[in-house]
């Protein structure tokens, strides 16, 4: 394989080159508290630089293959336990053509049923993602009714004469595999699927530090986005688009442009999860001269409210009041520490945890953060050009605090936005979807060796599923 010029000049193997300046692991060396092993568990494997097939995003045939070979067999997040806290509470989860009812049948039992009547097949529940508590599932078409545990409750007396062939004991709603981890409720359509915990692997150990079970889903927004579900998700799989797409981030880029982000894939890319960690604000190493920490702090105070949402101004009135040797990231970390960090166990949070966006992904479509943000991306039916993007705030509660009811889903209309930064991403991916169709240059898409590794990881696993190698 041909080497890039940089690789030939510097004798680095492909994938070994990194951006200028400090890397995340260098910053961890400077921590004053114990660094959790999770942050040091930072694997990366070069997976080649073969072009990526555009059809993964735009072809109907590929989209149908995903339905048949991925969604029909993979573990996927249906809801959170807190969405259905009481016995009888249920919620609908849809994926492509399938629909499921998730219901709490006993205080500690959650079951999943196909959302389809056994008579003529009507959807039993139509309250998409809206939790509800009804003592039964009554089909709106002819009124046949099931108990919340899936057993048949009644065929209406006026029509019962016509169903002498129905064995009432056997006429329960078919169940689908449903397993839980740390407050998440997963389903799998494949009865022969491996256990959820085997599928998840070591990410469950990573999240022992940032548990989800007692977080609170404070907000939940959803939007239909004009791109393939993978494109929308990939907006959060690399950070080097910050320079061009989000120039307002990180104190107007003087505090970094996303190029010092760490990317991790595990087990040579075979693990079903990955991670990226964005560097906290520090003097941008890509400036043509060295910006000092003092200058960066001054810039932060100069920009004012707009960049220091964490009460920095309250801690220090002005840049001049700051102690010698203070860094921007330390200042932000201290402010976050004071405001109460988001659910750390097993020690003091590190500065990196407090000031960097750490984003995990679980194949195929969810992204839990140690911090409060959480994403899910689903296809929009069988349309390769659209998807459902969801953003939730999963906040940790102080110890002993009672958890308020989980937020219900809020569907944003075509002209409503998730927020400024997200909107820039949403606009991008819609343009990428169109751009992918605008031409078909030979050779597919050209990815970066390191910074696009999560994108490559995801497509590599996806191909294995689609080709039934998994």
Partner 1 sequence: MIQVEPTGVSFETKEDETIMAAAIRNGYTWPTICGGQGTCKTCVFLTLEGKGNLTEIEPWEAQALESIVDTLPNRGQGWRLACQAKAIGDVRVKKIGVRQA
Can residue 304 be called a binding residue for partner 1 (CB under 8 A)? yes
The answer to whether residues 50 and 44 touch, using CB atoms and an 8 Å cutoff, is: no
Distance CA 107, CA 134 (A): 16
CA angle 213-457-361, nearest 5°?
15
**461: nearest Cα among 363, 326, 319:** 363
Q: Residue 390, SS3? A: strand
Q: Which stretch binds partner 1 (CB under 8 A): 91-99, 301-309, 352-360, 429-437?
A: 301-309
The answer to whether residues 66 and 463 touch, using CB atoms and an 8 Å cutoff, is: no
Can residue 37 be called a binding residue for partner 1 (CB under 8 A)? no
CA distances 309 to 250, 313, 314, 362, 423, Å, are 12, 9, 10, 29, 19
The answer to whether residues 231 and 432 touch, using CB atoms and an 8 Å cutoff, is: yes
What's the DSSP call for residue 270? Answer: T
Distance CA 154, CA 160 (A): 9
x-marked contacts with Fe ion along 393-432 as a string, rule CB under 5 A: --------------------------------x-------
Instruction: Figure out which of the listed residues 42, 291, 326, 412 binds partner 1, where binding follows CB under 8 A.
Output: 291
Q: Which stretch binds partner 1 (CB under 8 A): 75-83, 251-259, 266-274, 358-366?
A: 251-259
**Residue 97 touches which member of Fe ion, partner 1, none, C-beta under 5-8 Å by kind:** none
Can residue 295 be called a binding residue for partner 1 (CB under 8 A)? yes
**177: nearest Cα among 194, 153, 201, 199:** 194
Can residue 179 be called a binding residue for Fe ion (CB under 5 A)? no
Can residue 302 be called a binding residue for partner 1 (CB under 8 A)? yes
160 Rama sector, left if φ>0, alpha if ψ -120 to 50, beta otherwise: alpha
* Nearer residue to Fe ion within complex by CB, 12 or 421: 421
Give residue for tokens 């259905």: 84
Can residue 81 be called a binding residue for Fe ion (CB under 5 A)? no
Largest distance between two CA atoms of the chain: 87
Ordered alpha helix ranges (H), 247-406: 249-252, 293-303, 312-315, 328-339, 351-355
**Residue 299 touches which member of partner 1, Fe ion, none, C-beta under 5-8 Å by kind:** partner 1
Q: Tell how far CA 193 is from the center of its chain.
A: 22
Instruction: Figure out which of the listed residues 81, 226, 257, 351 binds partner 1, where binding follows CB under 8 A.
Output: 257
Shortest distance, position 261 Cβ to Fe ion, whole Å? 12
Can residue 423 be called a binding residue for partner 1 (CB under 8 A)? no
Can residue 21 be called a binding residue for partner 1 (CB under 8 A)? no
* Nearer residue to partner 1 within complex by CB, 258 or 384: 258
Can residue 213 be called a binding residue for partner 1 (CB under 8 A)? no
**Residue 251 touches which member of Fe ion, partner 1, none, C-beta under 5-8 Å by kind:** partner 1
Shortest distance, position 333 Cβ to partner 1, whole Å? 21
As given in the structure block, the two tokens for residue 290 are 């060295």
Can residue 425 be called a binding residue for partner 1 (CB under 8 A)? no
**Residue 286 touches which member of partner 1, Fe ion, none, C-beta under 5-8 Å by kind:** partner 1
Can residue 234 be called a binding residue for Fe ion (CB under 5 A)? no
Can residue 262 be called a binding residue for Fe ion (CB under 5 A)? no
Can residue 431 be called a binding residue for partner 1 (CB under 8 A)? no
Shortest distance, position 246 Cβ to Fe ion, whole Å? 6
Which residues inside 273-332 make contact with Fe ion, applying CB under 5 A? none
As given in the structure block, the two tokens for residue 149 are 């545990």
Shortest distance, position 82 Cβ to Fe ion, whole Å? 28
**Burial class of residue 274 in the structure, from the number of CB atoms within 10 Å of its CB (0-12 exposed, 13-18 middle, 19+ buried):** buried
Distance CA 327, CA 448 (A): 31
Q: Which stretch binds partner 1 (CB under 8 A): 73-81, 279-287, 359-367, 439-447?
A: 279-287
CA distances 259 to 23, 128, 255, 262, 284, Å, are 9, 40, 11, 9, 9
Q: Which stretch binds partner 1 (CB under 8 A): 34-42, 150-158, 209-217, 248-256?
A: 248-256
> Contact residues for partner 1 (CB under 8 A)?
243-244, 247-248, 251-254, 257, 284, 286-289, 291, 295-296, 298-299, 302-307, 420
> Contact residues for Fe ion (CB under 5 A)?
425
């Amino acid at each position: 394989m041909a080497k890039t010029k940089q690789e030939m000049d510097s004798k680095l193997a492909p994938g070994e080159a990194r951006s200028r300046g400090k890397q995340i692991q260098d910053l961890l060396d400077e921590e004053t508290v114990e660094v959790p092993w999770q942050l040091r568990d930072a694997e990366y494997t070069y997976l080649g630089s073969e072009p990526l097939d555009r059809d993964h995003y735009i072809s109907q045939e590929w989209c149908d293959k995903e339905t048949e070979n991925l969604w029909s067999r993979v573990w996927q997040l249906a809801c959170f336990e807190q969405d259905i806290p009481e016995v009888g509470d249920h919620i609908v989860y849809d994926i492509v053509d399938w629909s499921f009812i998730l219901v709490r049948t006993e205080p500690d039992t959650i079951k999943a049923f196909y959302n389809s009547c056994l008579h003529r097949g009507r959807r039993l529940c139509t309250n998409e993602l809206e939790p509800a508590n009804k003592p039964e599932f009554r089909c709106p078409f002819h009124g046949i009714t099931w108990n919340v545990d899936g057993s048949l409750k009644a065929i209406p007396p006026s029509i019962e004469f016509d169903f002498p062939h129905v064995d009432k004991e056997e006429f329960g709603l078919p169940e689908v595999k449903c397993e839980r981890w740390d407050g998440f409720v997963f389903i799998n359509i494949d009865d022969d699927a491996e256990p959820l915990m085997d599928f998840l692997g070591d990410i469950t150990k990573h999240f022992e530090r940032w548990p989800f079970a007692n977080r609170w889903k404070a907000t939940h927004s959803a939007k239909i986005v004009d791109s393939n579900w993978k494109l929308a998700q990939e907006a959060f799989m690399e950070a080097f688009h910050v320079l061009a797409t989000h120039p307002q981030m990180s104190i107007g880029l003087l505090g970094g442009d996303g190029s010092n982000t760490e990317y991790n894939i595990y087990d040579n890319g075979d693990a079903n999860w990955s991670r990226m960690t964005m560097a906290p604000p520090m003097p941008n190493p890509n400036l043509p001269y060295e910006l000092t920490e003092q200058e960066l702090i001054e810039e932060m105070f100069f920009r004012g409210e707009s960049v220091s949402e964490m009460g920095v101004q309250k801690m220090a009135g002005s840049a001049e009041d700051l102690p010698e040797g203070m860094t921007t990231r330390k200042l932000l970390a201290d402010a976050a520490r004071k405001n109460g960090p988001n659910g750390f166990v097993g020690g003091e949070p590190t500065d990196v945890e407090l000031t960097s966006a750490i984003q995990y992904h679980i194949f195929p479509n969810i992204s839990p953060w140690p911090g409060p943000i959480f994403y899910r991306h689903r296809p929009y039916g069988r349309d390769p050009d659209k998807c459902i993007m969801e953003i939730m705030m999963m906040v940790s509660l102080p110890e002993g605090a009672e958890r308020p009811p989980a937020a219900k889903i809020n569907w944003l209309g075509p002209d409503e936005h998730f927020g400024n930064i997200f909107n820039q991403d949403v606009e991008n991916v819609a343009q990428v979807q169109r751009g992918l169709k605008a031409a078909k240059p030979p050779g597919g898409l050209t990815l970066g060796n390191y910074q696009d590794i999560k994108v490559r990881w995801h497509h590599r696993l996806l191909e294995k599923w689609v080709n039934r190698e998994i």
